C-alpha cells in the first residue's frame, strides 16, 4: 500500500537547462505511420475513486490525466537525461548574468476550442500564480521580479537574482491555461474545472468515479500525434488491486510498487510483460541534527556503518532499488556529475565492529545492557519514524532497527500515520526517520532541497524539505554558485563540492535509490520507453513526462 | 401503531446520537489530527481555505462549542458533510456519491439471502433436532461464523478466482465496459458480484441459523405447539404456522442488530475484491487520513442501519399480532 | 458474527419497564441457594460437550501464547534471505516475502490477539455489568437514559465506528485499538444483563434482602449479580469474540501498529505482499484458520452456557 503521497511529495523538484541547443525527443522506433487507434488502459499509483477535478494547479486534482495530457508546458524536460526540448516555446535565451529569460512561442498552437494560443495566455497564467500564492507550488514569484510580452509570441521573465535552476519550474512544470476561460473563474483555489480545455494531445472523454477516459485531440499541433484513440484510467485503491489487473493482462501501462513482479507479472507472459525501474531519487535516513547525539558526526558514521543496505535493497525493496551512493547522486542518471575521486566510493556491507570502534573513538562506552552511552551517561537510544501504511519502508526500518540494536544502540520502530510523520519531520520533533529526497533533472535540485538553509527552520517551525536541519554556509555558497552561473564547468565544481560534503559530513544517510515504478505490456501497444530508449521518464504518474509517452506509443 | 411511533422516536434519538458522536469525535480525540493536517497542507492551501478547515473541525475557533454544534447540524440538514481533504476542494458527499449504490445493492441482496437461508436452515435444524443435519451443521456453522469476512474473501478469490478461474478477480465490472443501465452491463456487474455476495452470505448465515434454531427450540416446547401436534395437524403446518412464525420474531430483531456487523464485514470484503462501494472509499479515506470523508461514511452507514432496523420493525409488527393489538 | 438470541421482544427504549418476563426469558431459572456458577461447574464436568470442546480450544491457544518461546524456535520478526518458501521441516508453515517464519509469527501472534481480546472483553464486561445492573435495578429515569444509551450503541454499527475512531489516533498500536473496542463493545452485554436484572428485581429473595435493610449496593452486587453469573460469562465470551474479530479487522486495515507480531498483521502483510497472486497460501491461510478455530471455541462455550441457562435448548431427544 505505498501511498500516492509518496509520489506526490517526491515529484517536487526543479530543472536547469545547460545549453540553448534544444535536442529533439526520442521517437518510437519502427512506426510505419499506419498504427493508429486503440485504447490504452493505465493504472498509475493507487488513486480513486475519482472526483471530477481537472484543475492543473491543485494538488488533489486528477493531475495524472490533466498535466501534460490536457494542459502543456513551455518546454519538455526529460527527467532522466536533464535535456530540454521545445514544446509550446520553440526557443528560449538567457541573458548573460542569468537574470532574464526570453521565450519564443510557437505560432501554430490552438486551444481545443480553436482559439489561438498566444503570449497573453502565458502572462495570464503566471499572473494567476502571483495573485494566488497558494497555487504557486514552484515558488516562481519568490524569484521573479517582473514579466512582459513584447508581442503575441514572445514572453520575457526577469528575476531578482541569478536563477538558472528556476527554469525547470517555470518552463517545465508550469501548465499554461487559456485566459479567455480562466479569467471568468471566480476562485482558482477551489475551482474543480470539470470540463478542462487545453492545448494538449488529449481531451476529456467520459467520466465517472470508477473510470475516466481521455480522447485523442484530433487537431493537436504536433501533426500525426497521438497515435492512440484514447486513454482509460480505472480507479483502484490499493496496489494489490492493480497487481491483480496486471497479472490478468488487463493493463497496458502502470506505475505501481508491486512485490515480486517477475512471478506475478512477467512470468505470466514473458514475451509481452516488462518492467523497468530507473532510479529517480535517494531514500535517506534523516537524523535530527538539531539534537544530541545526532549532531555528533561519529554517531552518524557509526549508524551508517551498521546498516545492512544490501538487506534493505533485497528484502525491503525486493531488489528493485539498488544501494545508494554515499555522494547522494542518483546513479547512473547523474554519472556525468560524479567527482572522479568518488568513482569507487561505495557503502560496504554492514559492519558492527566498525560502528563500535567509531563510537569508542568518540568517547562512547558500552554499558552492562549492551547499549553505548556517551561520557555523561546519555544512552544511544532513539526512535525511527516511518509511515504505517508504506509497507516496504516499514520493513526497511525494521531491518535497520535490528542492525543498530545489534551494534549496541537501542532503536525502536515508530510506525505512525502520515500526518503525524510529516508534521514531525517538518517541525523537527523526531529522532530519526526514513524519507525521500526531491530530485530534478540535475543533482542540484536534490542537494538544494536536502541541504539549503533556506529550506530548513528552527525546531518547532515548519521546514520545507531540509528536515534534518543542516545549516552550513559553505553548502549555501556552493548552491548559489550553481544557481548563479549558466557555465557548465562552474556548475560541475559546485556539484563536486556538495558531493564532498555528503561523503565527509553525512548531513543525512543515503540508503537506497528510490525507483520509478513502471510496468508495461507490448501485447497491444509498442513504442514504450525502456532502458535502451530513455526518451522520457516512463511512469504514468510522472507529469508532464507521461504525455510524451502517451503520444509516442502506438498499436502493436 | 403506537409501537411504531415509539420506535420512530427511538431511531430519531439514535440518529441524533450518531450525529452528535460524529461532531464530538474530532473534538474529543487525544492529540490533534487536524492541526497535523493543516501542517501537511501548509503552502498548498491559501489562508481562507485553512480557516474553512479550522471551522469545519472546530479548531481554534472563536465560537462556543454550542454555536459550532448548531452550525454543524445546520450543515447536515442541508446535506453538507464538509470538504474532503484528500479530494480537496470536492465536497465529501460527491466523493461518496457513486459508491453508495454499489454497497447497497451488494449488502442488501446478500443480507436478505443470508437471512432467509439462515432462518430456513435454523428452523429445519430445530425441527429435526438430533438428526445428522443438526449434529453436523450446527457446529460447522459455529465455526463459519467466527471466520473473518475478509479472510474468507481472500480464500474464495484464491480458490475460485485465481485457481479455478470461475470468477473475475475483483472489481465491480469489466474494465472495458462503461457503466450504463443496459443488460450487458448488469449481467457483467452481477457476475462480478457473485464472489463478494457469496462471502457475505457464508460469513453471516451462521448467526441467523443458530439464532433461529435456539428460538425454534424454545417455541417448540410451548403449549400451543404441543397442542397443535396433539390435535394431529400436519407436521409442516405445525412447523410453519405455529412454531416458525413465532420463532422468527426474535430473529428479526437479531437481523436488525446483526446488520451493523454485516455491513462492517462487507466493507472489508469490498476491499479485498476492489469492489467500487463504500468500503473501497473508506480504505482510501483511512489511508489518506481524510477525516471528513471517514466521518461522512460512518454517518451514512449508521443511517442505513437505522433505516434497515426500522424496516425490520415494520415486519415485526406485521408478523406479531400481540404488538398490533397493543396499538 | 452471531447475536445471541434470548427470545425477547425487541428492545423498546421508551418503555422497557413493561417488557418483563416475555416467553423464553432466561429468567426461567429459579433462584436457589446454590449459585448458577456452582451449577455451571458441576454441569461443565457432566453433559454439555460444547462447553468442554470450547474450553479445550481456548485452553490450547492460551497455552500456546504462554509457552510461545518454547514452541517456536525462530524469532518471528527476524528477516532472512529465505523468502516465500513453502512449508518444510525447517519452516513448518513456510516463510513470508521477507523471510520471516510464518509458524513463529502465528505462535507469537496468539499473544497479542488473546491479550487484546480478553482485556477488551473483561473491561467491557465490567462496564456492562455496572451499567446493566444499575439500569435494571433502579428503573425509572436512570433506566430510560442508560437504556437509550446502550440501544444506541447497539444499533450504531460498531466496526465502522471503530475504524473512524482508530483513524483519529495518530500513534498506532494495540492499546488504542483496545480502547476503541471497549467503547464500541460494551452495549450488548449491558442490555442482556439489564433485562435479566429487571426480572430478578421482582424475586422474593431481593424483596427479603431489601426488607432486612441491606444496602442497595450490596443487594445489586452481592445478591443479584451472583445469580446472573452465567449471563455475565456468556456476554464476556461474546464480547471477547467481537473484540478479536474487530481487532483483526483493524489490524488488517493497518490501523494498529503494523510492526507488532499478531494474527491481523500477518494478514495485513500477506495482502500487502501479494500472497494471493504469488500463490503463497501458507502465508494467509493458517492465520485465518486459527482465528476461526479460536472464535468457534468461544462460540461453543457461549452456546453451552445458553443451554444451561435455557434448559429447553438442551440436547434431549424429542418425545
For A339-368, give the DSSP string.
-GGGTT----S--HHHHHHHHHHTT-EE-T
Alpha-carbon distance of A50 to A37, in angstroms, equals: 25
Whether the CA torsion B54, B56, B60, B63 is positive or negative: it is positive
pLDDT confidence tier of residue C57, bands split at 50, 70 and 90:
very high
Does residue A5 belong to the interface with chain B, where contact is any CB pair within 8 Å?
A: yes
Alpha-carbon distance of C319 to C315, in angstroms, equals: 12
- The packing angle between helices C187-200 and C229-252, to 10°, is 170
Whether the CA torsion A538, A544, A550, A551 is positive or negative: it is negative
pLDDT digits (tens, 9 = 90+) for B144-181: 888 899 999 999 988 998 888 899 888 888 877 777 78
Angle at A17 between CA A14 and CA A21, to 5 degrees: 155
CB A226 within 8 A of CB A216: yes
What integer pLDDT is reported at residue B125 of this predicted model?
87
Determine the distance in angstroms separating the CA of B192 from the nearest CA of chain C, rounded to an integer. 18
CB A73 within 8 A of CB A171: yes
pLDDT confidence tier of residue A15, bands split at 50, 70 and 90:
very low
Determine the distance in angstroms separating the CA of A431 from the nearest CA of chain B, rounded to an integer. 18
Alpha-carbon distance of C60 to C79, in angstroms, equals: 28
Does residue B99 belong to the interface with chain A, where contact is any CB pair within 8 Å?
A: yes
> What size, in residues, is chain C?
319
Alpha-carbon distance of C242 to C161, in angstroms, equals: 14
Query: Is cis: bond before A293, omega within 30 of 0?
Result: yes
Do the Cβ atoms of A211 and B175 come within 8 Å? yes
Q: What share of chain B in percent tops pLDDT 70?
A: 87
Using the predicted structure, report yes or no on whether residue A524 has a pLDDT greater than 90.
yes
pLDDT confidence tier of residue B59, bands split at 50, 70 and 90:
low
Do the Cβ atoms of B264 and C23 come within 8 Å? no
What one-character DSSP code corresponds to residue C223?
A: I
Does residue C163 belong to the interface with chain A, where contact is any CB pair within 8 Å?
A: no
Q: What share of chain A in percent tops pLDDT 90?
A: 72
Q: In this structure, are strands A279-287 and A509-515 parallel, antiparallel, or unpaired?
A: antiparallel
DSSP-derived secondary structure for A152-171? TTEEEEEESS--TTHHIIII
Choose between C33 and B33: higher pLDDT: B33
* Element housing B249 (H / E): helix B245-272
What integer pLDDT is reported at residue C30 of this predicted model?
41
Q: Identify which of C83, C269, C277 has the shortest CB distance to residue A244.
A: C277
Mean pLDDT of A61-74: 94
Dihedral angle computed from the Cα positions of residues B274, B280, B284 and B289, in that order, rounded to the nearest 10 degrees = -150
Using the predicted structure, report yes or no on whether residue B21 has a pLDDT greater than 90.
no
Do the Cβ atoms of C157 and B129 come within 8 Å? no
**Minimal-distance CA residue of chain B relative to C296:** B143
Whole-model pTM: value is 0.86
Alpha-carbon distance of B286 to A419, in angstroms, equals: 12
Would you state the cell numbers that stand for residue B129, as one nine-digit string? Answer: 433436532
How many other β-carbons are positioned within 10 Å of the β-carbon of residue A431? 19
CB B81 within 8 A of CB B124: no
Would you state the cell numbers that stand for residue A52, as one nine-digit string? Answer: 471530477
Alpha-carbon distance of A550 to A528, in angstroms, equals: 9
Query: Is cis: bond before A544, omega within 30 of 0?
Result: yes
Task: Give the Å distances, CA to CA, from A33 to A30, A226, C183.
Answer: 9, 11, 66
Alpha-carbon distance of C303 to C301, in angstroms, equals: 6
DSSP-derived secondary structure for A390-450? -HHHHHHHHHHHHHHHHTT-EEEEEEE-HHHHHHHHHHT--SEEEE-----SSHHHHHHHH
pLDDT confidence tier of residue B61, bands split at 50, 70 and 90:
low
What integer pLDDT is reported at residue B317 of this predicted model?
82
CA Rg, chain C, in Å? 22
Using the predicted structure, report yes or no on whether residue A20 has a pLDDT greater than 60.
no
CB C128 within 8 A of CB C231: no
Q: A20: which residues sit within 8 A by CB, 6+ positions away? A: A91, A92, A93, A94
Task: Give the Å distances, CA to CA, from B163 to A238, A530, B271, C81, C279.
Answer: 22, 33, 20, 28, 9
Look over chain C and give the mean of its residue pLDDT values, rounded to a whole number. Answer: 82
Q: C126: which residues sit within 8 A by CB, 6+ positions away? A: none
Query: Cell numbers 424454545 label which residue?
Result: B218
Angle at B277 between CA B272 and CA B282, to 5 degrees: 75
What integer pLDDT is reported at residue A7 of this predicted model?
43
pLDDT digits (tens, 9 = 90+) for C260-275: 999 999 999 998 888 8
Q: B74: which residues sit within 8 A by CB, 6+ positions away? A: none
Alpha-carbon distance of B200 to B113, in angstroms, equals: 10
pLDDT confidence tier of residue B41, bands split at 50, 70 and 90:
low
Alpha-carbon distance of A430 to A419, in angstroms, equals: 13
pLDDT digits (tens, 9 = 90+) for A92-149: 999 988 999 999 999 999 999 999 999 999 999 999 999 988 788 778 998 999 999 9
Do the Cβ atoms of A260 and C274 come within 8 Å? yes
pLDDT digits (tens, 9 = 90+) for B263-320: 888 989 998 888 888 988 888 888 777 888 888 999 999 998 899 888 888 888 887 7
Using the predicted structure, report yes or no on whether residue A555 has a pLDDT greater than 60.
yes
CB B17 within 8 A of CB C152: yes
pLDDT digits (tens, 9 = 90+) for B212-262: 888 888 888 788 888 888 888 888 888 887 888 888 887 887 777 778 888
Name chain A's partners: 3 or more CB pairs within 8 A: B, C
Q: Identify which of B39, B99, B289 has the shortest CB distance to residue A417.
A: B289
What integer pLDDT is reported at residue A291 of this predicted model?
93
Does residue C63 belong to the interface with chain A, where contact is any CB pair within 8 Å?
A: no
Mean pLDDT of B63-86: 83
Residues of A in contact with B42 (CB under 8 A): 426, 462
Using the predicted structure, report yes or no on whether residue B184 has a pLDDT greater than 80.
yes
Does residue A3 belong to the interface with chain B, where contact is any CB pair within 8 Å?
A: yes
Q: Identify which of A51, A133, A418 has the shortest CB distance to residue B90.
A: A51
Residues of A in contact with B38 (CB under 8 A): none
Angle at A524 between CA A521 and CA A529, to 5 degrees: 50
Amino acid at each position: 500500500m505505498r501511498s500516492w503521497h509518496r509520489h506526490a511529495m517526491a515529484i517536487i523538484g526543479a530543472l536547469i537547462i545547460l545549453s540553448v541547443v534544444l535536442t529533439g525527443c526520442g521517437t518510437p522506433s519502427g512506426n510505419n505511420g499506419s498504427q493508429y487507434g486503440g485504447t490504452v488502459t493505465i493504472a498509475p499509483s493507487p488513486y480513486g475513486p475519482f472526483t471530477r477535478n481537472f484543475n492543473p494547479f491543485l494538488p488533489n486534482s486528477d493531475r495524472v490525466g490533466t498535466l501534460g495530457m490536457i494542459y502543456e508546458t513551455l518546454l519538455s524536460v526529460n527527467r532522466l537525461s536533464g535535456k530540454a526540448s521545445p514544446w509550446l516555446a520553440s526557443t528560449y535565451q538567457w541573458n548573460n548574468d542569468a537574470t532574464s529569460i526570453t521565450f519564443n512561442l510557437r505560432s501554430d498552437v490552438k486551444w481545443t476550442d480553436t482559439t489561438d494560443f498566444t503570449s497573453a495566455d502565458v502572462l495570464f497564467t503566471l499572473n494567476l500564480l502571483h495573485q494566488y500564492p497558494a497555487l504557486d507550488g514552484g515558488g516562481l514569484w519568490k524569484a521573479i521580479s517582473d514579466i512582459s510580452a513584447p508581442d503575441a509570441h514572445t514572453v520575457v521573465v526577469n528575476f531578482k537574482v541569478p536563477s538558472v535552476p528556476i527554469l525547470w519550474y517555470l518552463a517545465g512544470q508550469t501548465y499554461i491555461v487559456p485566459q479567455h476561460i480562466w479569467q471568468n473563474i471566480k476562485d482558482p483555489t477551489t475551482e474543480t474545472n470539470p470540463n478542462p480545455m487545453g492545448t494538449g494531445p488529449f481531451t476529456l472523454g467520459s467520466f465517472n468515479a470508477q473510470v475516466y477516459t481521455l480522447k485523442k485531440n484530433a487537431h493537436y499541433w504536433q501533426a500525426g500525434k497521438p497515435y492512440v484513440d484514447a486513454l482509460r484510467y480505472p480507479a483502484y485503491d490499493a496496489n494489490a488491486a492493480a497487481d491483480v489487473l496486471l497479472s490478468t493482462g488487463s493493463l497496458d501501462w502502470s506505475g505501481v510498487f508491486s512485490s515480486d513482479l517477475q512471478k506475478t507479472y512477467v512470468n505470466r507472459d514473458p514475451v509481452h510483460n516488462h518492467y523497468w525501474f530507473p532510479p529517480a531519487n535517494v531514500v535517506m535516513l534523516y537524523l535530527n541534527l538539531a539534537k544530541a547525539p545526532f549532531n555528533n558526526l561519529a554517531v552518524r558514521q557509526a549508524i551508517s556503518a551498521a546498516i545492512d543496505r544490501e538487506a534493505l535493497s533485497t528484502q525491503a525493496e525486493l531488489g528493485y532499488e539498488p544501494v545508494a551512493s554515499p555522494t547522494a547522486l542518483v546513479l547512473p542518471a547523474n554519472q556525468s556529475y560524479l567527482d572522479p575521486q568518488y568513482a569507487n566510493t561505495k557503502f560496504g556491507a554492514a559492519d558492527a565492529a566498525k560502528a563500535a570502534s567509531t563510537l569508542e573513538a568518540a568517547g562512547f562506552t558500552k554499558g552492562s545492557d549492551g547499549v553505548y552511552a556517551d561520557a555523561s551517561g546519555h544512552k544511544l537510544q532513539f526512535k525511527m519514524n516511518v509511515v504505517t501504511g508504506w509497507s516496504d519502508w516499514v520493513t526497511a526500518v525494521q531491518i535497520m532497527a535490528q542492525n543498530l540494536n545489534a551494534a549496541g544502540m537501542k532503536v525502536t520502530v515508530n510506525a505512525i500515520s502520515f500526518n503525524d510523520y510529516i508534521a514531525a519531520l517538518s517541525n523537527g520533533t523526531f529522532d530519526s526517520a526514513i524519507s525521500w529526497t526531491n530530485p530534478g533533472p540535475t543533482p542540484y535540485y536534490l542537494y538544494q532541497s536536502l541541504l539549503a538553509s533556506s529550506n530548513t527552520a528552527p525546531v518547532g517551525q515548519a521546514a520545507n524539505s531540509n528536515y534534518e536541519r543542516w545549516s552550513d554556509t559553505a553548502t549555501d555558497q556552493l548552491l548559489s554558485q550553481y544557481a548563479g552561473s549558466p557555465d557548465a564547468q562552474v556548475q560541475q565544481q559546485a556539484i563536486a563540492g556538495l558531493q564532498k560534503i555528503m561523503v565527509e559530513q553525512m548531513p543525512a544517510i543515503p540508503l537506497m535509490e528510490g525507483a520509478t515504478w513502471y510496468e508495461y505490456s507490448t501485447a497491444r501497444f509498442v513504442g514504450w520507453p525502456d532502458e535502451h530508449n530513455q526518451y522520457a521518464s516512463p511512469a504514468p504518474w510522472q507529469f508532464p513526462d507521461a504525455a510524451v509517452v502517451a503520444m509516442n506509443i502506438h498499436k502493436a | 401503531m403506537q409501537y411504531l411511533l415509539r420506535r420512530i422516536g427511538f431511531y430519531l434519538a439514535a440518529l441524533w446520537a450518531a450525529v452528535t458522536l460524529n461532531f464530538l469525535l474530532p473534538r474529543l480525540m487525544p492529540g490533534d489530527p487536524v492541526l497535523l493536517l493543516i501542517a501537511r497542507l501548509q503552502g498548498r492551501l491559501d489562508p481562507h481555505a485553512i480557516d474553512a478547515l479550522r471551522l469545519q473541525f472546530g479548531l481554534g475557533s472563536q465560537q462556543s462549542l454550542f454555536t459550532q454544534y448548531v452550525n454543524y447540524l445546520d450543515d447536515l440538514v442541508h446535506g453538507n458533510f464538509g470538504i474532503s481533504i484528500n479530494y480537496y476542494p470536492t465536497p465529501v458527499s460527491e466523493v461518496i456519491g457513486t459508491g453508495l449504490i454499489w454497497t447497497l445493492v451488494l449488502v442488501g441482496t446478500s443480507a436478505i439471502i443470508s437471512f432467509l437461508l439462515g432462518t430456513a436452515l435454523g428452523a429445519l435444524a430445530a425441527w429435526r433436532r438430533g438428526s445428522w443435519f443438526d449434529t453436523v451443521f450446527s457446529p460447522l456453522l459455529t465455526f463459519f461464523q467466527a471466520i473473518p469476512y475478509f479472510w474468507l474473501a481472500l480464500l474464495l478469490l484464491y480458490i475460485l478466482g485465481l485457481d479455478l478461474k470461475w470468477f473475475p478477480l475483483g472489481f465491480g465490472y469489466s474494465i472495458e465496459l462503461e457503466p450504463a443501465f443496459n443488460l450487458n452491463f448488469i449481467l457483467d456487474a452481477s457476475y462480478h458480484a457473485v464472489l463478494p455476495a457469496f462471502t457475505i452470505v457464508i460469513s453471516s448465515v451462521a448467526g441467523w441459523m443458530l439464532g433461529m434454531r435456539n428460538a425454534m427450540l424454545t417455541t417448540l416446547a410451548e403449549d400451543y405447539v404441543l397442542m397443535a401436534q396433539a390435535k394431529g395437524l400436519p407436521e409442516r403446518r405445525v412447523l410453519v404456522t405455529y412454531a416458525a412464525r413465532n420463532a422468527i420474531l426474535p430473529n428479526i430483531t437479531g437481523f436488525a442488530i446483526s446488520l451493523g456487523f454485516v455491513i462492517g464485514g462487507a466493507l472489508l470484503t469490498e476491499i479485498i475484491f476492489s469492489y467500487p462501494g463504500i468500503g473501497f472509499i473508506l480504505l482510501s479515506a483511512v489511508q489518506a487520513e481524510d477525516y471528513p470523508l471517514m466521518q461522512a461514511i460512518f454517518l451514512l452507514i449508521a443511517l442505513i442501519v437505522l433505516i434497515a432496523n426500522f424496516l425490520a420493525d415494520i415486519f415485526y409488527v406485521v408478523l406479531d399480532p400481540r404488538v398490533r393489538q397493543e396499538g | 458474527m452471531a447475536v445471541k438470541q434470548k427470545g425477547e421482544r425487541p428492545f423498546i427504549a421508551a418503555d422497557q419497564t413493561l417488557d418483563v418476563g416475555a416467553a423464553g426469558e432466561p429468567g426461567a431459572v429459579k433462584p436457589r441457594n446454590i449459585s448458577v456458577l456452582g451449577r455451571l461447574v458441576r454441569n461443565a464436568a457432566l453433559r454439555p460437550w460444547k462447553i468442554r470442546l470450547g474450553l479445550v480450544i481456548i485452553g490450547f491457544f492460551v497455552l500456546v501464547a504462554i509457552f510461545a518461546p518454547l514452541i517456536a524456535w525462530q524469532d518471528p520478526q527476524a528477516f532472512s534471505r529465505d523468502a516465500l518458501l513453502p512449508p518444510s521441516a525447517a519452516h513448518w508453515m513456510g516463510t513470508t516475502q521477507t523471510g520471516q517464519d510464518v509458524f513463529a509469527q502465528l505462535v507469537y501472534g496468539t499473544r497479542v490477539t488473546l491479550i487484546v481480546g480478553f482485556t477488551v472483553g473483561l473491561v467491557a464486561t465490567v462496564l456492562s455489568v455496572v451499567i446493566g445492573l444499575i439500569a435494571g435495578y433502579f428503573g425509572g429515569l436512570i433506566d430510560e437514559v442508560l437504556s437509550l444509551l446502550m440501544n444506541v450503541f447497539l444499533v450504531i454499527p460498531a466496526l465502522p465506528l471503530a475504524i473512524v475512531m482508530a483513524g483519529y489516533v495518530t500513534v498506532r498500536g494495540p492499546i488504542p485499538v483496545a480502547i476503541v473496542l471497549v467503547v464500541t463493545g460494551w452495549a450488548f452485554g449491558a442490555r442482556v444483563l439489564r433485562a435479566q436484572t429487571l426480572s430478578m428485581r421482582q424475586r422474593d429473595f431481593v424483596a427479603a434482602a431489601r426488607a432486612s435493610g441491606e444496602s442497595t449496593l450490596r443487594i445489586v452486587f452481592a445478591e443479584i449479580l451472583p445469580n446472573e453469573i452465567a449471563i455475565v460469562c456468556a456476554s464476556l465470551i461474546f464480547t471477547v469474540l467481537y473484540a478479536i474479530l474487530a481487532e483483526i479487522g483493524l489490524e488488517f486495515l493497518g490501523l494498529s501498529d503494523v510492526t507488532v507480531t499478531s494474527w491481523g498483521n500477518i494478514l495485513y502483510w500477506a495482502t500487502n505482499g501479494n500472497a494471493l497472486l504469488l500463490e503463497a497460501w501458507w502465508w494467509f491461510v493458517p492465520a485465518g484458520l486459527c482465528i476461526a478455530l479460536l472464535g468457534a471455541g468461544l462460540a461453543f462455550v457461549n452456546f453451552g452456557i445458553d443451554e444451561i441457562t435455557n434448559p429447553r435448548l438442551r440436547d434431549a431427544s424429542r418425545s
